[in-house]
Copies of this chain bind each other. A is one copy, B any other.
Amino acid sequence: MSRIPAPERRRALVEAALRVVSQRGIAQATTRAIVAEAGMSLASFHYAFESRDELIDELITTVVAREQEAVLPEFVPGGGLAGILEAGLVRYIEHLKADPEHEQAMLELTQYALRSPERHPLAVQQYERYAELAERSLERAAELAGATWRVPVAQVARVLVAFTDGLTFTWLVDRDDAAARAVAHAAADALSRMADAP
């Protein structure tokens, strides 16, 4: 094995861990499985990280920080605010269908963090980040539609996050695209009513 400085190795291990969690679940993300995925020896793991817990924590923070605005809204001519929001959610569904394992991994990491008191803040952070991204999308959508939010955007954002979560979870179970679109439609409808049209 070629020599790799520790910080770079940390990054490689985090990436490998994400792949293992996505493909096999967090319970199967053992030090040995991660190291095998990264093509390293077991000793390298504990040279780069104090413990498995330290890696999992870094995995969560890394992956949350990297989260993109997946549902950045685009203008839909004639659709109004509801149409723009629905189009955004439909695009999220496409993203979900393209990489279901990633979203499943996110959900699993959240639930994992929820189980230990010292990791709970990580889950809260994760959802604050989601809310932040949702907020930006909602502001952009209102701007495109020429509408203004009647309710504080931060509050609307939390509703959007909850709707997206439910959409994701149920789709992961039943893989029913039509049902997901129905949820997207209903959610967009509900959200749009929290704004005033110009």
Report if A187 contacts B (CB, 8 A): yes
A93-128, CB < 8 A from B:
104, 107-108, 110-111, 114-115, 123-124, 126-127
**A114 and B173 in contact, given A155-B179, A162-B166, A166-B164 (Cβ under 8 angstroms):** yes
Report if A8 contacts B (CB, 8 A): no
Q: Is the CB of B158 within 8 A of A179?
A: yes
Indicate which residue in B27, B162, B187, B191 contacts A170 across the interface (CB closer than 8 Å). B162
Q: Is the CB of B172 within 8 A of A127?
A: no
Report if A47 contacts B (CB, 8 A): no
Report if A197 contacts B (CB, 8 A): no
Q: Is the CB of B172 within 8 A of A114?
A: yes
6 nearest A-B pairs in the assembled complex, by CB-CB distance: A166-B166, A190-B190, A162-B166, A165-B166, A186-B190, A162-B170
**A residues touching B (Cβ–Cβ < 8 Å)?**
24-25, 27, 104, 107-108, 110-111, 114-115, 123-124, 126-127, 151, 155, 158-159, 161-167, 169-170, 172-174, 176, 179, 182-183, 186-187, 189-191, 193-194
